[in-house]
Structure 1
Amino acid sequence: MPNLLSPAIAPILLLIASNVFMTSAWYWHLKFPQTALVKVIMISWFIALFEYCLAVPANRIGHGVYSAAQLKTIQEVITLVVFALFSVFYLKESLSWNHLVGFTMIAGGAAFIFHKF
């Protein structure tokens, strides 16, 4: 079993958790259009604070193993997965084949960041 606290695994887990907070901060309010925008912004900033508390250490720890470009790529792929799940389960929006194809193409492009030529 891999060590979850290793510099190769811990950043990924922290980035997953941070993306849950950031996706929530950015999109939770779409179910509450009647809520005042100023209130939504303040609540979203509060939620985003937790994202920063996880993302910054993830990048600091991960930079010992991954390049900055690789960390950003990991974060972007995680963002797509978290957003897709959030969209389906929280916002109750369906994903169609074009979303899946687009996300797959982005993930395919991300694979090039990790390829050694």
Structure 2
Amino acid sequence: MSPAVTLVAPVLLLVASNVFMTFAWYGHLKVDKGPLWVIVLASWGIAFFEYWLAVPANRIGRLAYEPAELKAMQEVITLAVFAVFSVTFLGERLTLNHGVGFAFIALGAWFVFKGPF
């Protein structure tokens, strides 16, 4: 596998997996009716596809990144995907507090990638 693929593929796969997982975890908030067990089963069905993307992302990503870097990357991607989802799908507003909180998490990821001090 080429070095470019091992650097980029995990990022793209993690973005796609996070789209699925965000819908699995939060998409049901737009559903007002139905028993909880149906909602849970539907969420599991969506999450099934998330795993088909996340596991290869981490297997391929391990060729170029440390596990802590993969996890930090995943958290930042999760927040970015959630922010877009929250505004576009749920109709929520992002506030300055959200931005500051997300920025602190991104700063934490930066420290992970910066390497040992």
User: Normalising by structure 1, what TM-score?
Assistant: 0.94
Structure 1 residue aligned with 2:107: 108
Deviation at 1:110, TM superposition (A): 1.0
Q: Percent identity?
A: 58
Structure 1 residue aligned with 2:6: 7
Deviation at 1:84, TM superposition (A): 0.5
| Whole-angstrom CA distance in 2 between matches of 1:45 and 1:113 | 31
Report Cα offsets for 1:64-100 as digits up to 9, x if no partner: 1000000000000000000010000000000111001
Deviation at 1:113, TM superposition (A): 0.2
| Whole-angstrom CA distance in 1 between matches of 2:32 and 2:18 | 23
Structure 2 residue aligned with 1:41: 40
| Whole-angstrom CA distance in 2 between matches of 1:66 and 1:33 | 42
Deviation at 1:109, TM superposition (A): 1.2
Structure 2 residue aligned with 1:22: 21
| Whole-angstrom CA distance in 2 between matches of 1:72 and 1:93 | 26
Q: Which structure carries more helix by proportion?
A: 2
| Whole-angstrom CA distance in 1 between matches of 2:56 and 2:39 | 27
Deviation at 1:40, TM superposition (A): 0.4
User: Normalising by structure 2, what TM-score?
Assistant: 0.94
| Whole-angstrom CA distance in 2 between matches of 1:113 and 1:33 | 40
Structure 1 residue aligned with 2:67: 68
Alignment of 1:77-88 (within 5 A): 77-88=76-87
Structure 2 SS opposite 1:6: helix
| Whole-angstrom CA distance in 2 between matches of 1:68 and 1:109 | 15
Deviation at 1:33, TM superposition (A): 2.5
